[in-house]
């Protein structure tokens, strides 16, 4: 059953007519045409679909859009300020931290979340913060280097 | 090889006085893919904007080939990177280079672009000399302009709106290497900026007006057939479904709302009725079972004589492994005005088109297959299958673009895995501790069932009314014997391969049989080193003759000489030359063994991939390859029961997570005067052996079966009992 609800994404309010059970990911990708959050498993096991819910990283592939309608949703598209990249985005470029890049969304969004909680996390905290995100190319060593570059 | 006499003719400042550089190569044969496609304009064209557009039949998979090709073109044409754009695999634009596979893109495609660009440069300069009425050596070339005194003309002005024509003919004058400004450097991959900014880059990001979403209803086992599907009940439950397609046992559903289509797919899982299908063997002892299967036995190498009294023997085992792309396979297909267009992350757009042409009975020229980046595939995953399925569905809804996204479960359960393998090796040492005899046997399924123009290798083709069924083939082929011959000087040697056709669908996984063969050979080398009372480095060096091989092993030894292990830690090594003809690679691993668990602390690699094109590209591939191989080696194994694979998500098929990632260090040896070689697969096998050897050094336990974590658990349970 479709209903109309308000969703706040990257600082903009959207009015959407939609099945309220739809997982957030499909709303972001299909209705709002965002590319940041990606489909990886639909099971909250891989983190490709990570978004910030009220500033905290959370997978978007299972959580119903109805559940998050009162939360501030931020995707990878929303972490930069205008044309200035978030320092983590810049660090990923500087360290060339990607191979296929499919997991980069999950890694960056999780890293933003980690730094929000503690601006100078130790390595263990960083790793814990990124534990939910899988990378198959084996680029994790570069992600760690990029994040450490920002907190130095 | 660089000729010192021509240096006199070269100017500084990155400018070249043209016409005096001597032929770089005297070889008569055209290099790489130019053999098949010698036309200059197949590889590049000059745009009115001043840019040069390069075409390659290869596709970017995260391995950085797009940047490496752009570097080589820009270098020969004296252009900055941003003035070169690269068009990748596309059946209407790019040359046919079949598959992006086997670490061969540098050797075939990038080399072709280098020679085509050098030929283009010569042609442009000739034209400029005519137009300026001067000699070539009085011209200079920079940023897409040819300059003569105070006049200059852009490439496109020189061509007068035409394109370059003619063929590349040897010999070709290449830019002297000492003038290089781009090749060999760590040039950034521009697509990484798109990735971090969440710009559209992947096939998954394609959106077309009116595009609808599709899903497939899968049978419960490989060869189940559809018995009953209640379309009425389905449509009643999901009124938004636009189309239900049933072609034999191929079932697809489509609709505008992706979530509704997904729910319908779930409903069909519970409600469609399928025949049970042939049961899979799920033997307790997989190795004995696989070895008992019929298939060709073939002698791969034999030299000297082998006595029957080998002193040392061992058996090694590798399970089925999955590619495990993070983004499950996806494709978009659009059938309009009698023409079919497909966007795919397939590694081979041309062979896919050929297979589609046969499956769909649609003329080749009416099918356009365009490569688009996808999630890393590491070989033949579901990419071709999903494209074929999308094509079948799109043909039933002319005018409407159809996007088909596989689920995690579909990718895990239906992709063609890397084959399980068994290796048995025996050897005899002489009194000096040298290997006198080496007798090696391997058992494997095939390592390639890529479409290659054959519809039977496309998953959906097997379920159509008139199915295309895979032909029974029991021949030993190249992939399984890759790296089966050790790269060591062994006076008496026999390598024998046995083919089986195993229970699971299999195909090419990064490095094919090379991973398992190198694992077995390099573990056994360590075992023999101990018998010979030699240090593992020393023992390998005693048997190596190739100076480049010796150099990578010695460099690794030098790096490790400064390292110290903490208690419970051990360091092991592995070496191979990929395919015995490509990149040289030596790897060291440090592991810590605590009770039943093992942790990888650090991995080091020394790699020689010939002339370096992009230094950071080689490092990135090697770092990633080590981490991926460590995950395969330590943790991974496809499991199945009598019906189907049962490792269907990331919990049942765990791979490395962030907390398990070791530190990595890569040292690249540059060989500017050697052929550039692909570097994407060289590290897979050596890493596996280094890890098992490190485990032995740390704990004294010799693990010969992968995954290591499982064997170590078994070994230590036995110890405790």
For chain A, say whether B9 makes contact (Cβ under 8 Å).
no
**Interchain CB contact of B375 with A (< 8 Å):** yes
Confidence grade of residue B718 (pLDDT, cut at 50, 70, 90): confident
- CATH code: domain B205-274+323-412 is 3.30.365.10
Q: Is the pLDDT of residue B169 over 50?
A: yes
- CB of B61 within 8 Å of a chain A CB? The answer is yes
pLDDT above 60: residue B21: no
pLDDT band at B472 (very low <50, low <70, confident <90, very high): confident
Whether the pLDDT of residue B581 is over 60: the answer is: yes
Rounded to whole angstroms, the Cα distance separating B240 from A142 reads: 44
The two beta strands, A50-53 and A56-59, are: antiparallel
The owner of tokens 């009975």 is: B361
Give A100's contacts in chain B (Cβ within 8 Å).
61-62, 326, 373-376
Name the fold adopted by B533-720: Aldehyde Oxidoreductase; domain 4 (3.30.365)
Q: Using 50, 70 and 90 to split pLDDT, how confident is the model at B131?
A: very high
- B97-123 in b/e form (b: 16+ CB < 10 A) is bbbbbbbbbbbbbbbbbbbbbbbbbbb
Q: Is A1 on the interface with B (CB under 8 A)?
A: no
Confidence tier at B1 by pLDDT (50, 70, 90): very low
Residue B348 and residue B450 in contact, taking contact as beta carbons nearer than 8 Å: yes
Q: How far apart are CA B541 and CA B532, in angstroms?
A: 13
**Taking the mean position of all CA atoms in its chain, how far away is CA B70?**
20
Q: Which of B649, B632, B639 is nearest to B686 (CA)?
A: B632
Sign of the torsion formed by the C-alpha atoms of B10, B16, B17 and B22: positive
And the tokens for B98?
């079949």
Class of domain B4-183: alpha beta
* Count of C-beta atoms within a 10 Å radius of residue B174: 20
Q: Do B376 and A93 touch (CB under 8 A)?
A: no
Cα B224 to Cα B272: distance, rounded to the nearest angstrom: 12
State percent of chain B over pLDDT 90: 91
Cα–Cα–Cα angle for B26, B30, B35, nearest 5°? 170
Closest residue in chain A to residue B65, using alpha carbons only: A99
Count of pairs with CB atoms under 8 A, one residue in A, one in B: 162
CB distance B631–A43 less than 8 Å? no
- Parse chain B into domains and list their residue ranges: 4-183, 205-274+323-412, 533-720
A20 contacts chain B (CB < 8 A) = no
Touching A: B residues 86-125, CB under 8 Å: none
Scan for tokens 């159509």, then name that residue.
B464
pLDDT of residue B427: 97
Helical H runs in A34-152? Answer: 87-94, 104-117, 123-130, 140-151
- Enumerate residues 39 to 68 of chain A having a beta carbon within 8 A of any beta carbon in chain B: 39-43, 45-46, 48
Question: Rounded CA gap, B90 and B55, in Å?
Answer: 9
Rg (alpha carbons) of chain B, rounded to whole number: 27
Evaluate if residue B370 carries a pLDDT over 90: yes
A23 phi-psi bin (left φ>0, alpha ψ -120 to 50, beta other): beta
Strand partners for B425: B314, B440
* Radius of gyration of chain A, Cα coordinates, nearest whole angstrom: 15
User: Does B48 score more than 50 pLDDT?
Assistant: yes
pLDDT digits (tens, 9 = 90+) for B641-660: 999 999 999 999 999 999 99
Distance CA B206, CA B256 (A): 15
Strand partners, B92: none
| Cβ-based contacts of B373 with chain A (< 8 Å) | 100
For B301-341, what is each residue's pLDDT tens digit?
999 999 878 789 999 999 999 999 999 999 999 999 999 99
Domains and CATH numbers, chain A: 3-76 (3.10.20.30), 87-151 (1.10.150.120)
Using the predicted structure, report yes or no on whether residue B6 has a pLDDT greater than 80. no
**B230, pLDDT greater than 90:** yes
Measuring CA to CA, which residue among B637, B655, B656 is closest to residue B647?
B637
* HSE-CB for B165 with a 13 A CA cutoff: 4
Task: Give the closest residue to B121 by CA, choosing from B80, B84, B79.
Answer: B79
Residue B719: per-residue pLDDT: 79
Q: Of all helices (H) and strands (E), which one includes residue A74?
A: strand A72-74
Q: Do A131 and B627 touch (CB under 8 A)?
A: no
Mean pLDDT throughout B535-555?
A: 98
**Comparing B4-183 with B205-274+323-412, is the CATH topology the same?**
yes
pLDDT (0 to 100) of residue B518:
98
pLDDT digits (tens, 9 = 90+) for B443-469: 999 999 999 999 999 999 999 999 999
DSSP 8-state secondary structure symbol assigned to residue A77? G
pLDDT band at B284 (very low <50, low <70, confident <90, very high): confident
For B654-716, the three-class secondary structure string (H helix, E strand, C coil) is CCCCHHHCCEEEEEECCCCCCCCCCCCCCCHHHHHHHHHHHHHHHHCCCCCECCHHHHHHHHH
Q: Is the pLDDT of residue B532 over 80?
A: yes
Is residue B14 predicted with pLDDT exceeding 80? no
* Mean pLDDT taken over chain B: 94
Task: Supply φ then ψ for residue A16, to 5 degrees.
Answer: -125, 135
**Would the ipTM clear 0.90, i.e. be above it?**
yes
pLDDT (tens digit per residue) in A85-131: 999 999 999 999 999 999 999 999 999 999 999 999 999 999 999 99
The answer, yes or no, to whether residue B174 has pLDDT greater than 90, is yes
The secondary structure element, H or E, covering residue B300 is: strand B297-303
pLDDT of residue B178: 94
pLDDT of residue A82: 86
User: β-strand B367-371 against B339-344: which pairing, if any?
Assistant: parallel
Nearest-angstrom CA–CA distance, B605 and B587: 4
**Residue whose entry in the numeric block shows the structure tokens 């000059």:** B46
Contacts of B526 (CB under 8 A, 6+ apart): B536, B539, B572, B573, B689, B693, B696
Please indicate whether residue B380 or residue B24 has the higher confidence score (pLDDT). Answer: B380
Question: How far is residue A21's CA from residue A7's CA, in Å, rounded to a whole number?
Answer: 14
User: Can you tell me the distance from the alpha carbon of A79 to that of A112, in angstroms, rounded to the nearest whole number?
Assistant: 8
Q: Do A138 and B626 touch (CB under 8 A)?
A: yes
Residues 6 or more apart whose CB falls under 8 angstroms from that of B90 comprise B349, B368, B369, B370, B371
Give pLDDT, residue B418: 98
Please provide residue B618's backbone torsions phi and psi, each rounded to the nearest 5 degrees.
-65, -45
What is the separation of C-alpha B44 from the centre of its chain, rounded to a whole number of angstroms? 25
């Amino acid at each position: 059953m479709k209903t109309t609800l308000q969703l706040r994404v990257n600082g903009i309010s959207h009015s959407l007519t939609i099945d309220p059970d739809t997982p957030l990911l499909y709303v972001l990708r299909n209705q709002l045409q965002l590319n940041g959050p990606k489909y990886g498993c639909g099971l909250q096991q891989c983190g490709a679909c990570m978004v910030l819910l009220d500033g905290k990283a959370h997978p978007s592939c299972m959580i119903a859009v109805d559940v998050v309608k009162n939360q501030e949703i931020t995707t990878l598209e929303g972490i930069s300020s205008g044309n200035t990249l978030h320092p983590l985005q810049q660090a990923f470029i500087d360290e060339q931290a990607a191979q296929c890049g499919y997991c980069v969304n999950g890694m960056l969004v999780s890293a933003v979340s980690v730094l929000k909680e503690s601006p100078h996390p130790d390595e263990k905290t960083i790793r814990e913060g990124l534990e939910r995100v899988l990378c198959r190319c084996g680029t994790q060593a570069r992600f760690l280097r990029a994040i450490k570059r920002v907190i130095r | 090889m660089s000729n010192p006499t021509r240096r006199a003719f070269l100017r500084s400042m990155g400018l070249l006085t043209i016409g005096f550089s001597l032929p770089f190569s005297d070889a008569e044969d055209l290099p790489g893919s130019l053999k098949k496609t010698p036309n200059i304009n197949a590889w590049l064209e000059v745009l009115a904007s001043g840019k040069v557009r390069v075409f390659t039949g290869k596709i970017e998979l995260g391995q950085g080939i797009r940047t490496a090709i752009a570097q080589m073109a820009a270098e020969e044409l004296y252009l900055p990177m941003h003035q070169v754009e690269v068009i990748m695999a596309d059946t209407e634009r790019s040359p046919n280079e079949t598959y992006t596979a086997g670490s061969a893109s540098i050797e075939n495609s990038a080399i072709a672009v280098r020679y085509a660009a050098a030929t283009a440069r010569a042609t442009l300069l000739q034209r400029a000399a005519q137009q300026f009425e001067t000699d070539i050596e009085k011209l200079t070339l920079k940023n897409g302009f040819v300059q003569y005194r105070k006049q200059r003309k852009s490439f496109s002005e020189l061509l007068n709106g035409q394109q370059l024509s003619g063929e590349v003919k040897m010999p070709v004058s290449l830019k002297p290497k000492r003038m290089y400004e781009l090749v060999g450097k760590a040039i950034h991959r521009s697509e990484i900026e798109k990735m971090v900014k969440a710009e559209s880059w992947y096939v998954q990001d394609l959106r077309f007006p009116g595009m609808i979403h599709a899903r497939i209803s899968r049978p419960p086992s490989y060869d189940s057939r559809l018995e009953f599907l209640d379309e009425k009940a389905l449509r009643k439950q999901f009124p938004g479904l636009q189309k239900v397609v049933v072609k034999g046992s191929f079932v697809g559903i489509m609709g505008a709302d992706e979530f509704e289509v997904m729910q319908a797919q779930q409903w069909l899982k519970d409600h469609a009725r399928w025949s049970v299908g042939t049961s899979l063997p799920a033997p307790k002892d997989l190795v004995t079972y696989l070895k008992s299967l019929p298939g060709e036995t073939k002698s791969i190498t034999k030299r000297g004589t082998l006595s029957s009294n080998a002193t040392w023997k061992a058996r090694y085992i590798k399970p089925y492994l999955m590619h495990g792309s993070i983004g499950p396979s996806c494709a978009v297909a659009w059938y309009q005005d009698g023409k079919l267009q497909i966007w795919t992350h397939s590694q081979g757009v041309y062979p896919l088109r050929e297979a589609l042409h046969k499956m769909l009975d649609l003329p080749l020229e009416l099918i356009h297959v365009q490569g688009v980046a996808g999630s890393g595939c590491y070989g033949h995953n579901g990419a071709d299958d999903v494209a074929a399925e999308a094509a079948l569905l799109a043909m039933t809804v002319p005018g409407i673009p159809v996007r088909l996204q596989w689920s995690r479960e579909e990718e895990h359960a239906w992709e063609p895995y890397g084959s399980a393998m068994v290796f048995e090796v025996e050897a005899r040492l002489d009194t000096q501790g040298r290997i006198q005899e080496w007798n090696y046997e391997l058992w494997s399924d095939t390592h390639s069932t890529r479409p290659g123009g054959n519809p039977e290798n496309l998953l959906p083709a097997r379920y159509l009314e008139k199915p295309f069924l895979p032909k029974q083939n029991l021949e030993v082929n190249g992939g399984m014997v890759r790296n089966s011959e050790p790269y060591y000087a062994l006076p008496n040697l026999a390598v024998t391969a046995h083919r089986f056709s195993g229970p699971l669908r299999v195909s090419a996984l990064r490095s094919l049989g090379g991973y398992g063969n190198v694992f077995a050979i390099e573990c056994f080398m360590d075992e023999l080193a101990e018998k010979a009372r030699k240090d593992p480095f020393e023992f390998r060096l005693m048997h190596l003759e190739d100076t480049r091989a010796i150099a990578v092993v010695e460099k690794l030894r030098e790096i490790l000489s400064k390292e110290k292990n903490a208690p419970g830690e051990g360091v092991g090594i592995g070496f191979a030359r990929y395919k015995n003809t490509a990149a040289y690679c030596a790897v060291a691993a440090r592991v810590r063994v605590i009770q039943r668990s093992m942790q990888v602390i650090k991995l080091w690699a020394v790699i020689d991939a010939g002339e370096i094109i992009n230094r950071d590209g080689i490092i990135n591939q090697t770092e990633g390859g080590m981490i991926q191989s460590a995950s395969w080696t330590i943790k991974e194994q496809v499991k199945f029961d009598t019906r189907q694979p049962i490792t269907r998500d990331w919990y049942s098929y765990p791979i490395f997570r962030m907390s398990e990632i070791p530190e990595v260090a890569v040292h690249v040896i540059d060989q500017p005067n050697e052929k550039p070689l692909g570097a994407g697969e060289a590290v897979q096998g050596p890493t596996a052996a280094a890890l098992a050897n490190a485990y032995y050094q740390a704990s004294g336990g010799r693990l010969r079966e992968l995954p290591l974590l499982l064997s170590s658990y078994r070994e230590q349970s036995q110890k405790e009992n």
